[in-house]
Amino acid sequence: MTPANEVDNQAQKLVAILNSTAPFSSTNGKDALDLALIFGSYEQVTSLFFQGDGVWQLINNQDATLIQSKDYLKTFAALAFYDIENIYLCQQSLNERGLTDSQFTIGNVIVLNKLEFSEKLHQHNVLFRF
Amino acid sequence: MAFIITTPPNSNLTATALNYIELALEQGVSVLGVFFYQTGVLNANEYIALASDEFQTTQQWQLLHQKYQLPLHLCYTAAEKNGLSEEKNTNNIASHFTVSGLGELVELTSAADRVVQL
């Protein structure tokens, strides 16, 4: 593996990582977060998107140990240290699940309506789906 | 182009990705590499035997690698989580795969014009 500082300096791509599945029914959420942290550590411009059941990943007071899972949700707090500050969430997905923006585990979540969410996603060059 | 495979060998998405990659290579498109993540890493299991009347995904990866020297990168963390190992006595990773890390995906993403995930 080449060290971070040797990634060539072509025009930087904006990377979007889209989460649309619930946190503990599969490893998607953890795998997406690992990917985000790696892109962050290579100083790639990376945004996280949450829609559908993916919004549950940002909701507080979940105890993964009750189902013998590791609590990766607390790692979301580390995103800021990797300069990943663009975290977008779909308002409609939140409403449909009876959730509110006061229940997030991290502070800098940007809640967008469907159209804004879509427009924001389209501003990125690369999309990874989980 | 670069590809990320996140589906196992018995997934139709994997078969479609293989067809897509083969066509790209046949037409002279430069494919920088394929990165296997999540259960996609199971494609590298040397001992997986799919029923003989099914599409032989694992064989196809080997063919593409041999014919076009297509780099096949395996995320080792995902591989370990899915029962793959490169330890001497328990090695079950097919030799045409390169054991890599997620950093390789960053490199591929940075170098390729497009990254495709099915």
Q: Is the pLDDT of residue A8 over 80?
A: no
Q: Which domain holds residue A124?
A: 13-59+79-129
User: Of B13, B3, B99, B118, nearest to B57 (Cα)?
Assistant: B13
B104 touches chain A (CB under 8 A): yes
- Check pLDDT > 60 for residue A31: yes
Residue B75 bears catalytic tag: yes
**What does the DSSP 8-state code read for residue B45?**
B
Q: What pLDDT is attached to residue A10?
A: 53
Whole-number percent of chain A with pLDDT over 70:
92
Query: Is residue A97 assigned to a domain?
Result: yes
Cβ–Cβ below 8 Å for A35 and B102: yes
Give the chain B residue whose CA is nearest to the CA of A31: B38
* A2, pLDDT greater than 80: no
Q: Do A39 and B115 touch (CB under 8 A)?
A: no
Per-residue model confidence as pLDDT tens digits over A41-60: 999 999 999 999 999 999 99
Q: What are the start-end ranges of the H helices in chain B?
A: 12-26, 57-68, 76-81, 102-111
Residues of chain B with pLDDT under 50: none
Q: What does DSSP assign to residue B47? A: T
Kindly state whether residue A28 falls inside one of the protein's structural domains: yes
* DSSP letter string, A15-64: EEEEE-S-TTTSSHHHHHHHHHHHHHHTT--EEEEE-GGGGGGGBS---G
Q: Mean pLDDT score of chain A, rounded to an integer?
A: 92
% of chain B at pLDDT higher than 90: 99
Instruction: Pick the catalytic residue from B15, B75, B78, B94.
Output: B75
- What ipTM, to 2 d.p.? 0.91
- List chain B residues with CB under 8 Å of A10: 110-111
Quote the number of domains for chain A.
1
Mutation site, A6, A126, A127, interface B, largest B CB count within 10 A: A126
Cβ-based contacts under 8 A for chains A and B = 50
Residue A66 belongs to some domain of the structure: no
pTM, rounded to two decimals: 0.91
Domains and CATH numbers, chain B: 2-117 (3.40.1260.10)
Answer whether residue A1 shows pLDDT above 50: no
CATH code: domain of residue A93? 3.40.1260.10
Query: Has residue A69 been placed in a domain?
Result: no
- Reported as a single tens digit per residue, the pLDDT across A64-87 is 999 999 899 999 999 999 999 999
Choose between A6 and A118: higher pLDDT.
A118
Q: What is the reported pLDDT for A12?
A: 83
Q: Is the CB of B111 less than 8 angstroms away from the CB of A129? A: no
Neighbours of B49 (CB within 10 A): 8
